[in-house]
Amino acid sequence: MEKSYIQIPLRGIVAETVPDFDLYIFQAGSYVLYRKAHYCFDHDTLAKLVDSCVESLFIAKPDLSLYEDYRQRVLDGQPGKSGVLSYEGLFVDPDEVRKYYQIVDNFFSVEDESFIDGLEVDFPVFHHQGNDVFILPVFAGKEQGPWVLSPWALPADGELMIKKEDLPRYQAFLENKLVASATGETPVKRKAVLLREMSKLLVQGLLEDPSSSEAMKKLSNQITEVVGFILDNEEGFYGLMRIQAHDFYTYVHSMNVCTLSVALGYTIGLFKSPDLEMLALGGLLHDIGKCRIDPKIIHKPGKLSLNEFIKVKNHVKFGIEMLKESHDLPAEVLQVVAMHHERLSGGGYPLGLRNGQISLFGKIAAIVDAFDSLTADRPYKKGISPFQALDVLSKTTTDYDMDLMRRFIFLLGRQLGSPQNQQAG
Ligand SMILES: [Fe+2]
Ligand SMILES: [Fe+2]
């Protein structure tokens, strides 16, 4: 007689437990034994299933009572917590699962240290503990901000969260603090926390698009990981701190060039480190030489004089000098710094290199750098829309590698949706 099976939710099985029944998956029209009874169902097993988008498992019908006993044991193992485990969707109670996803969909985890110096915020801050989110007591009874947060108003454990709709406010709050910290007495460690937090938001802002495909979401996670790795790298992070202290716009631009270079790198098939990491580091540091240029010239509204333009062009030379002085960086990283203003036609600077003389990383950085410069908003100038920028760049056929450009347009097309949805700006 044919065996019959019962479908159970993947979340019905808790990681690092030992089910005493066989687990099956349904594949190509039949039930396949996935995990034998009495083997530990570990985190790796769960992660593989989640990665493959498996939401259900199956058990043999005669094992139903074993499964029910198992669930009871798991619930009993979590006294007073209604079977709640901390993360990875490993809740037993469906109401808790729903609650968990509501939190993930609506809230964003923020760093406690952003708030420790007693200051005003114009958005409410919440405390996430277990599977619950509570508004901090300091906000209670006062509907409208600004609110003053002090270190003793922050909880000792759990994490702080804000509503996702308040992300632009949080970003503005961090930006003000970062700009102030460049001249003030803020300790380096605190500046580093603010900078890392801000960088996290910038990468997220660039990559997050709720309408993007599963493939794009997966790619975004990988990009976030590579960029995160570079931010943990001493050279990358201290370089970025230096840029930020000098000029906030160049810092945002450097983060964008880093993120978009990695995205384009993935699109052309550079999946492995250290290639992606060198590309990311090059993107992060490509304009570091601007630290040696007078900010009045960098921020000058309108056209630069010939003399000023010559000075700005020196940022490439200064950048290489700075990086060679202090660090032993791979040649590929230095090439990004050296070549991001070279053009295939030979009309770029500083050396007027031509197509065959410019490295792949140099060509990637040139496209991404030009794109971000065209789309960036400045206090004196609104950037053009991403679609207009791609249009401008793709018409400059003699300057950029057109194969890379097509990949870049494809990448941003996936990221930005259809042109009709875009507002010209
Ligand atoms: Fe540059
Ligand atoms: Fe640049």
CA of 287 to the centre of ligand 2 (A): 5
Q: Say yes or no to pLDDT of 79 above 50.
A: no
Query: pLDDT band at residue 86, thresholds of 50, 70 and 90?
Result: very low
Ligand nearest to the CA of 250: 2
Neighbours of 303 (CB within 10 A): 7
Tell me the mean pLDDT in the region 128-136. 84
Phi and psi (nearest 5°) for 366? -60, -45
Query: How far apart, in Å, do the first and last CA atoms of the chain sit?
Result: 68
Q: Counting ligands in written order, which one lies closest to the CA of residue 316?
A: 1
Q: How confident is the model at residue 148 (pLDDT cuts 50, 70, 90)?
A: confident
Question: What is the model's pLDDT at position 264?
Answer: 93
Length of the chain: 425
For residues 322 and 235, is the Cβ–Cβ distance under 8 A?
A: no
Q: Which residues pair with 31 in a beta bridge?
A: 26
pLDDT digits (tens, 9 = 90+) for 337-364: 999 999 999 999 999 999 999 999 999 9
User: What does the pLDDT read at residue 344?
Assistant: 97
Confidence of residue 82 (pLDDT cuts 50, 70, 90): very low
DSSP 149-181: E-GGGS-SSSEEEEEGGGHHHHHHHHHHHHHHH
Stretch 273-302: mean pLDDT:
90
Q: What is the Cα–Cα distance from 226 to 263, expressed in whole angstroms? A: 10
CA–centroid distance, residue 252 to ligand 1 (Å): 13
Span from the CA of 286 to the centroid of ligand 2 (angstroms)? 6
- Closest ligand to residue 372's CA: 2
Lowest-pLDDT choice from 50-54, 133-137, 197-201: 50-54
Q: Over 60: is that where the pLDDT of 92 sits?
A: no
Mean pLDDT of the chain: 82
Tell me the backbone φ, ψ of residue 7, rounded to 5 degrees: -80, 135
- Who has greater pLDDT, 380 or 319? 319
For residue 286, the CA-to-ligand 1 centroid distance in Å is 6
Q: Which of 105-119, 255-269, 275-289, 309-323 has the lowest mean pLDDT?
A: 105-119
The yes-or-no verdict on residue 286 having pLDDT over 80 is yes
Cβ atoms of 262 and 283 closer than 8 Å: yes
Residue 76, pLDDT score: 60
Residues 67-72: what's their mean pLDDT?
82
HSE-up of 46 (CA within 13 Å, CB side)?
19
Q: Is the pLDDT of residue 142 over 60?
A: yes
Task: Give just the sign of the alpha carbon dihedral 94, 96, 100, 106.
Answer: positive
pTM of the predicted model as reported, rounded to 2 decimal places: 0.70
Helix axes 360-375, 248-267, angle to 10 degrees: 130
Q: What are the domain boundaries of the chain?
A: 5-85, 101-168, 187-421
Burial group, residue 205, by CB count within 10 angstroms (0-12, 13-18, 19+)? middle
CA of 221 to the centre of ligand 2 (A): 24
Residue 225, pLDDT above cutoff 70? yes
Task: Encode 34-94 in three state secondary structure.
Answer: EECCCCCECHHHHHHHHHCCCCEEEEEHHHHHHHHHHHHHHHHCCCCCCCCCCCCCCCCCH
Q: How many angstroms separate the alpha carbon of residue 352 from the centre of ligand 2?
A: 17
pLDDT at position 234 is 79
Q: How many CA atoms lie within 13 A of 254 on its CB side?
A: 31
Over 60: is that where the pLDDT of 311 sits? yes
How far is the C-alpha of 288 from the C-alpha of 246, rounded, in Å? 10
Query: Would the pLDDT of 214 be above 80?
Result: no
Q: What is the pLDDT of residue 375?
A: 92
Residue 179 has pLDDT above 90, yes or no: no
Q: Is the domain defined by 187-421 classed in CATH 1.10.3210.10?
A: yes
- Residue 274, preceding peptide bond in cis (omega within 30° of 0): yes
Distance 316 CA to ligand 1 centre (A): 7
